[in-house]
A and B are shown apart, each in its own frame.
Chain A
Amino acid sequence: MKPDRAAAPRRDEFEGLYQQYSREVWSVAYGRWMDADLAMDITQEAFTRLWRQMEAGEVIQNPRAWLIRVTRNLAEDNAKSAFRRNGTQSPELMNGVGSKEPQPLEKLEREETFEQIRALMEELPAGDREILTLRYAFDHDAPKIAEILNLQVTAVHMRLSRARKRLADRLTALGVQQIP
Chain B
Amino acid sequence: MNHSPRLTDEHDDLDRAFAAYFKKQVPSTWPALHYEPVASPSTLRTPSTQPSTGSMRSRVTLAASVAALVGLGLYISSGHRTPPANSSPVVSEPGLMKDSHADGKELMEKLPKSNPPTAPIP
Interface, chain A (partner B; CB < 8 A): 1-2, 4, 6-7, 11, 14-15, 18, 22-23, 26, 30, 36, 40, 44, 47-48, 51-52, 55-57, 110, 113-114, 117-118, 132-133, 135-139, 164-165, 167-169, 171-172, 176-179
Contact = CB atoms under 8 A, between A and B. Distances in A.
A1 B54 contact: yes
Given A55-B43, A137-B22, A178-B7, A47 B16 contact: no
Contacts of B45: 55-57
B7 A171 contact: yes
B74 interface: no
Nearest to A39: B25
Contact of A40 (B8, B17, B23, B27): B27
The 3 A-B residue pairs with the shortest CB-CB distance, nearest first, are: A57-B47, A179-B17, A137-B22
B33 A22 contact: yes
A47 B45 CA distance: 18
B13 A133 contact: no
B26 interface: yes
A164 B11 CA distance: 9
B48 A2 contact: no
Contacts of B48: 6
A114 B21 contact: yes
A136 B33 contact: no
A113 B7 CA distance: 13
14 contacts: A22-B33, A23-B30, A47-B33, A55-B39, A57-B47, A114-B20, A136-B19, A136-B21, A137-B22, A167-B14, A172-B5, A177-B5, A177-B7, A178-B6
A176 B30 contact: no
B8 A15 contact: no
Contacts of A4: 52
Contacts of A57: 45-47
A113 B20 CA distance: 11
